[in-house]
Structure formats: structure tokens, C-alpha cells
Amino acid sequence: MSQVRKAGLAGAAGLVVAAVVLSGCSGAGDGGGEVTLELQSAMAEDSPRFESLSTLAKAYEDENPGVTIDVVPMGQDYEGDMKVRMASGDLPDIWATHGWSLLRYSEFLEPLQGQPWADELNPVLDTTMKNDEGEFFALPLTTDVAGILYNKTVLDDLGIDPASLGDIEAFDAALAAAKDAGIVPISSSGKDDWFAGNVADWLASGSYDEAESAELADGDFVESGFEAMYSTIDEWAEAGYFNPDFSAATSDDIASALGQGTTAFVMIQNNLVLSALQFVPDAQLGFIPVPAINGDSEYLIGGEGVALGAWRDGENKEQALDFLAFLAEPENIGQFAGDDGNPAGLTGVDVDLGDLADSYEQFFTPGDVRMVPYFDRAYLPNGMWNTLITTTSGIITGQSEVDDAVSQVEADYGTLYGQQ
């Protein structure tokens, strides 16, 4: 254990021992005096990020005999499960905040601005993770930077420069060229349905301007952007641009297709690249900014990436904070960020971004491409994510018309905004 973390635990050692005794080892194993921390990861069990976090948890256990980190993979409805646990007051010791550390979970999480690593928080996360008092509530293992993933070999063979796809007309032409070459233009999933939700979330920021987005955030529904977005998705579906196995495809199916070059583009976070490389180790992959449907400039999506917070009322809170401090050590957070294919959430950390390094250097590092937040997190009421999934899936499968999707979004927006 580092000296910083030893010092942080010293003053609370008695409290931790007392908590263990009072809680009957707080879910510990068979051995007396052991502590088990429940860590809800919001990660698929077979994903590289889950494996990376589990490896770091094991390293912490080796340093701290008697402490077990129970890294729990994502279930069928992580968000719904967490809402139930918040309502019941029975929360994990540590949980992944999946972009909502401030807006949804902050009242249940321990403020972290006083932690030894707090000054290293990546400043690009200030607007999404800090409140007006400068408090923040999760350790960001990564800074989320997302665009559209693509297979470099596919675009090379088609003679398409990825840097030329910054407007929607050029991107549409690339989709058509891929289809003409017998390659699936865009792959998504109705089975692992966050893929479909991301298609809407990716495109929505380019369907609304700043003023219209502000209206949505303030409770005034603006339908024009959703009409434009769903119309674009509908046109792509009618043109046969989505993968035919949309309803049955899994994350692994899409990762494999991207690696093999049987699909050209995927609208998902960069960690899918790590999965793709497990299937096709020599695949050449990258990401591009998202073209705006409304004619504005292209953009990347960013904010809180993989982030973990500690339950402020948890009996094992001090041990949980010590584990977060362990993860924040440069070699540990750097290892995880590299495994996840994203920059670290703390500054001064060297990260091996592998095949994605070129894309970061081209589109992110210079700072020329604008960054936008995840649309649903910034401008839509809590609960709209599920609406984005169902409406987008309906259009891709042809089971829903654009007008019906917009009407559904408007109805759910009104209901959910009124519940805030």
C-alpha cells in the first residue's frame, strides 16, 4: 500500500474495524475480520475493461490481505437496479456512475475533492463532474472521447480519406460506397441495445444547435432535431445501410465484424476496439468525428468515462476510498485507460492508446474539433435513454415511423421532465 493511502487509512482504522465487527464482516468471506467490498462495475463480464478492473482488484487484494473486492459484472438493467437500490438505501460500497456521478448519484456518493489525487482531475471534466461548490463524486479512470469507429483497411480500399467525412453528405456517400462494395456500412444491435441508443445519442448533438439544446434542458420540447435525426436513421435503414442481423447481433458480433472489415462504421465508445482486436489482432482501426446533420461543424463526444464512486454511508467507506486511491496511482490508472482505449481521467498519466493513438493525435489532441457532452445526459430528463433505444430500434427494424418515434419522445419527455 502506498504511503499516501496508508496515511489516509490510519485515522479511520478504528472505524473500519468497528464497522467490520458490527456488520458481521459486512458480507466478508469465511475468515474472521475480513472485509468484502461490493463493486458494481456496469461492465460486460467478457469485456477487456472488466478484465482490466478485475486484475487491478486482485493486485489490491494481494497488497491488502483480508480485503476482497467483489467486482460484479453488469446485469440486464444496471440503471434500473441502481434506482431500486437508491430507493431502498442499500447501495454497493463502490459503483460505476456511467456518466451520472453528478446529476444522478451525487447525493449518495462521498465527495472526493479532498482526496490526495483530486488535484489531478482532468480539467476537461470540470463542467460534467463538478458542482458549483467544486465538489466531485467519482474517480474517472478514463476521459471519455468518442466518435465513429471505422476500419481503416475498408476506407483505404474504397479510396476514402477519413478526414474528409466531416459533413453529413460526405459520410452518406461513404456509406453508399461501402454498400456497393458488399460491406455493411453501419453495424448496431437491438440485442445489446445500448448500441441503438448510441446511434441516437451520437446524432442528436448534430441535430440541435446550442439554443435549441438549451430549450430542451429547460423543459421546452423542440421536435425539429428529433425529426431530422430519425429521418436520417430512417433513410439509412431504407437504403440497407444497417447490418441485417441487427435484432440478433451481440457486442462480440459487432466487434468481430469491425475487426474483420465486414462492417465499415460503428457508433460506440472506443473500448469496442479492444474487443475487435481480440478477434482480429492485426486489424487497423480508428475513429472519426461525428458529422452534424444540421450542417454545423463535426464534433467528438466526451465527458465522464469509466468512473467509480464510494457510498458515503457505507460501512466500508474508508476501505473503498483506499481502493479508489490505489486505482488513481499513475501506473494503475494508466494501465486501465490503455486497456480501455481512452485517455486517463487524471492528468500526468502515460497511456498507451495503441491503434487509436493516430486518431487521438489527428482529431482530439490539437483541440480543433469541438467536444460535446452526451446528449441525453445534458439535455434530456432522467429516463429518456430507454426511449432513445426503443424508438431508434423501431426505425432501424422498420417497425416504427419517424412521426411515431418523435411523438413517443415528446410524450416521454413531458412525463419524465415533470417527475424531476
Q: How confident is the model at residue 399 (pLDDT cuts 50, 70, 90)?
A: very high
* For residues 252-269, average pLDDT: 97
| Mean pLDDT value across residues 263-290 | 95
Model pLDDT, residue 249: 97
* pLDDT band, residue 33 (cuts 50/70/90): low
Using the predicted structure, report yes or no on whether residue 222 has a pLDDT greater than 70: yes
* pLDDT tens profile 352-377: 888 899 999 999 988 899 999 899 98
Kindly state the average pLDDT of the residues 300-317: 94
Cα–Cα distance for residue pair 179/415, rounded to 1 Å: 40
63-97 pLDDT, tens digit per residue, is 999 999 999 999 888 988 999 999 999 999 999 99
pLDDT score, position 31: 39
**In this model, does residue 254 exceed pLDDT 60?**
yes
pLDDT at 11 over 70: no
pLDDT band at residue 400 under the 50/70/90 scheme = very high
Domains along the sequence of the chain with CATH: 3-140+307-341 (3.40.190.10), 146-302+362-418 (3.40.190.10)
Give bridge partners of residue 302 from the DSSP assignment. Answer: 145
Q: What is the 3-state secondary structure (H, E, C) of the chain?
A: CCHHHHHHHHCCHHHHHHHHHHCCCCCCCCCCCCEEEEEECCCCCCCHHHHHHHHHHHHHHHHCCCEEEEEECCCCCHHHHHHHHHHHCCCCCEEECCCCCCCCCHHHECCCCCCCCHHHECHHHHHHHCCCCCCCCCEECEEEEECEEEEHHHHHHHCCCHHHCCEHHHHHHHHHHHHHCCCEEECCCCCCCHHHHHHHHHHHCCCCCHHHHHHHHCCCCCHHHHHHHHHHHHHHHHCCCECCCCCCCCHHHHHHHHHHCCEEEECCCCHHHHHHHHHCCCCCEEEECECECCCCCCEEEEEECCEEEEECCCCCHHHHHHHHHHHHCHHHHHHHHHHHCCCECECCCCCCCHHHHHHHHHHHCCCCCEEECCHHHHHCCCCHHHHHHHHHHHHHHCCCCHHHHHHHHHHHHHHHHHCC
262, three cell numbers = 465486414
Per-residue pLDDT at 326: 98
pLDDT reported for residue 232: 98
Q: What local confidence, expressed as pLDDT, does residue 45 receive?
A: 92
Q: Which residues contact 21 (CB under 8 A, 6 or more apart)?
A: none
> Are 272 and 251 within 8 A, CB to CB?
yes
At 79 the pLDDT is 84
pLDDT band at 279 (very low <50, low <70, confident <90, very high): very high
pLDDT tens digits for range 241-251: 999 999 999 99
Q: What is the pLDDT of residues 158-196, one digit of tens each?
A: 999 999 999 999 999 999 999 999 999 999 999 999 999
Taking a C-beta distance cutoff of 8 angstroms, is the pair 301, 144 a contact? yes
Which tens digit of pLDDT belongs to each residue from 110-126? 999 999 999 999 988 88
Mean residue pLDDT of the chain comes to 90
The model carries a pTM of 0.79
pLDDT of residue 25: 34
Q: Which of 13-27, 32-46, 244-258 has the lowest mean pLDDT?
A: 13-27
